[in-house]
Chains A and B, each alone.
Chain A
Amino acid sequence: MHRILSTSVILVLLAGCSRIHPWVKPYERTHLADPIMSFSRDPVSSAYQGHVYQVREGARGAEGGDGGGCGCN
């Protein structure tokens, strides 16, 4: 049992030594390079919308954006 376990662990660790090949080739990235393929197409707008929520919700973080005051005192 120990032998099977240690062999499995070694095999898993050895897999980490293999080189990772990109599975999306450069010539397949035309869609990814389209301007609409962006999480934040207009930073000035997404920063403002994020601020609207930050001021009025208890949760914050994991959405990007800068700090600052809130104008809500």
Chain B
Amino acid sequence: MARKAETGVVVAVTRRWRRRIAAVLCLAPLLTNGAILPEDRADALYHSYNGGGVEVTGPSILVRKGDAKRFSVNANYYTDSISSASIDVVTQGSEYTESRKQYSLGVDYLHADTIMSLSYTNSDESDYKADTYSASISQTMFGNMTTVTLGFSRGMDDVLRNRDPNFSENADHRDYQLSLSQVLSKDLLMSINYDAITDQGFLHNPYRSVVFLDPSKPSGIGFEPEIYPRTRTSNAVSANFLYYLPYRATVKLSYRYYTDDWGIDAHTAELAYVHPIGSRWILEAGYRYYTQSDADFYADFFPRAGAQNFEARDKELSKYNDQTASVGVSYELLGKKRGFIDKATLNLKYSRILFRYDNFTDLTDPDLPDYEFTADVFQAFASIWY
């Protein structure tokens, strides 16, 4: 009897080890190679944003293909079709429609435990052209438990003004990035990111005006163009934790602190939960909270015309907070390899964002309350791996 029990224990232990060894063998490419290139996949996404009188829709196509050894190339085509009757447009201009097209091309090169990446992005709309060049190097070390990435990107923008051929300005952006990804335990990952960003040139919207008190007008208010500083230096640091729960689900916790020399301090906190059901469904839900202080040169109403050297009434520079609640579902279509397709998924995501401004008055309402609005954000996309 004792021998039978002993044999049972040995069999159970052997089975447990057999399963572990099988898992390790299946995952060998992921576990033994230090750095690995991203998977070959293609995504076709339709996006829709609707809130605050602004509607933005369009597609995004992302394709990535590698030679399975050293190189991986990715290309992205993205479009925003914009119809805007935002609070700024309603109070200072007239409703407009426009479109923005963005093309990106990137290449990753793997050598031992190092990945070197280069990318180029071009964004084009009727009154704004932007070219961004990026380079980064990523090194995996300490038994594949730590990855350090250094990155730099440079953006060169042309700022134009529709119906004003004489207006032409430039903006220059430099972004220095440092990130650390660390395996903390067999169930816990950590990612720390730091960005130092410098901007120089024409940094504001050429259409927007500030509001000042003007007793000479029947409405009591007057408008004059915004004036921003021509430089801006920002620092942002974030900590992100991803934990694998015992029943195959993950929970993500993120925090970011941001500060810049315009006087804006911001905090972002995010909680996300991912829960697979069976082998084909993945459900997810999340909550995000963002809050910021206002810029030193921001005012809802200036006391008179030309009251300050720098003047802004951009609601994104005011004191406000926003909250996002998100849900998503993903369904795996095939269940097994078909032809050249290893896997295919259909995905839907929905977010509702509530923006609440503390010192930005809604001038369209006779009671002049603080402005607030909600936005609905939809994403529908199909992905294939090959």
Most interface-central of A24, A43, A56, A62 (chain B CB within 10 A): A62
Interface string of B179-206 (1 = CB under 8 A from A): 0000101110101011111000000011
What separation, in Å, do the CA atoms of A42 and B235 have in the docked complex?
A: 27
Interface residues of B toward A: which range? 35 or more
Interface string of A12-53 (1 = CB under 8 A from B): 000000001111101111111110111101111101110011
Contacts of A48 in B (CB 8 A): 45, 47, 60, 78, 379
Contacts of A21 in B (CB 8 A): 143
On whether the beta carbons of A39 and B143 are closer than 8 Å, the reply is: no
Interface residues of A toward B: which range? 35 or more
**Secondary structure of the B side of the interface?**
strand
On whether the beta carbons of A63 and B238 are closer than 8 Å, the reply is: yes
List B residues 41-91 near A (Cβ within 8 Å): 43, 45, 47, 49, 56, 60, 62, 76, 78, 80, 82
Residue B374 lies at the interface, judged by CB distance under 8 Å to chain A: no
On whether the beta carbons of B43 and A24 are closer than 8 Å, the reply is: no
Contact A59 B292, CB 8 Å, known A22-B142, A45-B45: yes
On whether the beta carbons of B23 and A71 are closer than 8 Å, the reply is: no
Contacts of B186 in A (CB 8 A): 24, 28-29, 31-32
Determine which of A22, A43, A70 lies in contact with B143 in the assembled complex, contact meaning CB atoms within 8 Å: A22
On whether the beta carbons of B381 and A45 are closer than 8 Å, the reply is: yes
Contacts of A22 in B (CB 8 A): 142-145
Contact A68 B132, CB 8 Å, known A44-B60, A56-B316, A57-B266: yes
Determine which of B31, B38, B130, B236 lies in contact with A62 in the assembled complex, contact meaning CB atoms within 8 Å: B236
Instruction: Write the nearest CB–CB distance from A26 to chain B, whole angstroms.
Output: 5
Residue ID in chain A nearest B282 by CB atoms: A36
Contacts of A60 in B (CB 8 A): 195, 197, 234, 236, 258
On whether the beta carbons of B32 and A26 are closer than 8 Å, the reply is: yes
On whether the beta carbons of A56 and B322 are closer than 8 Å, the reply is: yes
Contacts of B236 in A (CB 8 A): 59-63
On whether the beta carbons of A69 and B351 are closer than 8 Å, the reply is: no
On whether the beta carbons of A59 and B144 are closer than 8 Å, the reply is: no
Residue B356 lies at the interface, judged by CB distance under 8 Å to chain A: no
Contacts of A6 in B (CB 8 A): none
On whether the beta carbons of B264 and A73 are closer than 8 Å, the reply is: no
* A–B complex contacts, Cβ < 8 Å, 7 sampled: A24-B186, A57-B292, A58-B258, A60-B234, A61-B197, A68-B132, A71-B82
Listed from nearest, the 10 A-B pairs whose CB atoms lie closest are A22-B143, A61-B195, A67-B132, A61-B236, A59-B258, A62-B236, A68-B123, A59-B266, A69-B123, A71-B100
